Structure 1
């Protein structure tokens, strides 16, 4: 059986291809040119293949099979680099995995930008992502299923909070919905007569309690996306994040309701972790990244919000 190429030989192959010469590869790897040439010659002998054309050329040129082998070598060297990065990260206290729980109310462009940056910043850290609503986010943090939660605060929860921004909830309905056709502002007695679509808490935190529910008749849903679809079809009214329905409002698929009981509510969003656990490097980086991205997404920075803004889910507002 022929000996397998070593990782050192493959790294030399990649370096020669990247630098364009044996001498340049030697300088980059801090080795003599003769050592580089010898390693490539040994690799070619082991494989029984000619990887570089040397005759009649000023610098070695990859052969056809050499280019194919280079792709394989680059993958192997990439794996080696990830192994080294993971080991270095472990020695520096970097977690192997981050479990992240995110409220669906968080603007999806913010989530995507943060996760793209996370992938680039921590390529060796595995991500476990939970998407939920209402009390499910703090519950996942408290019971240890999530290292970090991003969302509003529902009731009293023993977690450490960092305010990262705010989220605006807007009462809305389809343009042909009866509430959209009434004189403005719509009185509470009129509001109560029309079905309100309400997202229910997937946790036990608010069982038996309603927040921001005004109608006598409600349809209870388990997710905000379904609520959004039903509202566009005129099957009820309710509150939805402004970022989620901005295009619908602009194109007339939904209209913002002018209601006597409440208007748009800007409510704080938090990063949260257990009080008895400090976030490790990747989770701590996520907190700051969410704060930065949500701050730029909002109309103004989180620290410029009024001090007495309504608290998400804790006080009456268009949460339903």
Structure 2
């Protein structure tokens, strides 16, 4: 058995062109080569691999042999991988990030984030994305630990000199409870009533927000690190608490949750703040995400 010689990428692409065009002449026209060059390239591949790839006898149109068909998928993969490599090199030469690591606050609406990432994939098909969804201080913590490039955080945390910040929007928060909860059944909630009822509060494990409370009004609290769990417990009537209006629109419409008319001041706006490290300016892909979020979080007239 002769030693195998790896065929050139050019010859492999000629092989694909013959398969796709159905003839040596068609491949020659597509590639701008002479038919003799196409024929020579196929002969060289067959010699190097010690395989017959095309049946040529009895027909003017070459057809793949069984062994040729068996190799077709691998040849396609080699060609596509090389195209991906060249695209990646061009992107890097243009300053595009090798990867975008994005961390977003759990309050960022899914109906904003999902279409944005769909459009990101179309615009930057060769930029891998690493997405983290965190709460409160855990969002900027990933920037400080250099595990993220761009962050969309919640309420601005003072004293983070390493980070640049920009308010790009806000989420409306709504105090709610299940219809079976005592607060939801009161015709009028009096000042101080909510303090004796269990409040479900979103929290996280970050030292940046340790011992800090956001819109806590009750003497009794359960602290949850997951917004989905908080939502489920609210629907069960276990306590009352604030949720993003976008996340509970269907619950309010169906009556599964009731908006509470609290008599005391309640922070209804949850700011969304873009953050990035001062020593690492965002690249083109991150800046595109930032521009799109500014626009998509701006209330439409």
TM-score, normalised to structure 2's length? 0.86
Kept after mapping to 2: 8 A contact 1:110/1:293: yes
Q: Relative to 1, partners in 2 of residues 1:96 and 1:229: Cα closer, same or farther, differing over 3 Å?
A: same
SS in 2 for 1:216: coil
What are the within-5 Å matches in structure 2 for residues 170-209 of structure 1?
A: 170-184=174-188, 186-209=189-212
SS in 2 for 1:213: coil
Kept after mapping to 2: 8 A contact 1:232/1:254: yes
2:213 to 206, 210, 214: 210
Structure 1 gaps of 5+ residues are 305-320
Kept after mapping to 1: 8 A contact 2:156/2:273: no
Kept after mapping to 2: 8 A contact 1:172/1:239: yes
CA distance in 2, matches of 1:255, 1:25: 68
- Equivalent residue number for residue 274 of structure 1: 277
CA distance in 1, matches of 2:28, 2:169: 51
1:119-149 deviation per Cα after TM superposition (whole angstroms, max 9, x unaligned): 3333433333222101221232234221100
- Equivalent residue number for residue 166 of structure 1: 170
What are the within-5 Å matches in structure 2 for residues 48-67 of structure 1?
A: 48-55=50-57, 59-67=61-69
SS in 1 for 2:192: helix
- Does 1:239 pair with 2:242? yes
- Equivalent residue number for residue 81 of structure 1: 83
CA distance in 2, matches of 1:88, 1:4: 26
1:237-276 deviation per Cα after TM superposition (whole angstroms, max 9, x unaligned): 1111122222222333222222222468244323221233
Kept after mapping to 1: 8 A contact 2:199/2:218: yes
2:117 to 108, 115, 118: 115
Moved more, 51-60 or 14-23: 51-60
Instruction: Give the number of aligned pairs.
Output: 297
RMSD: 2.6
> Once the 2 structures are TM-superposed, how far is the Cα of residue 86 of structure 1 from its aligned partner?
1.8
Kept after mapping to 1: 8 A contact 2:53/2:68: yes
Kept after mapping to 1: 8 A contact 2:204/2:224: no
CA distance in 1, matches of 2:168, 2:16: 44
Q: Relative to 1, partners in 2 of residues 1:245 and 1:4: Cα closer, same or farther, differing over 3 Å?
A: same
> Once the 2 structures are TM-superposed, how far is the Cα of residue 110 of structure 1 from its aligned partner?
2.8
Q: Relative to 1, partners in 2 of residues 1:66 and 1:163: Cα closer, same or farther, differing over 3 Å?
A: farther
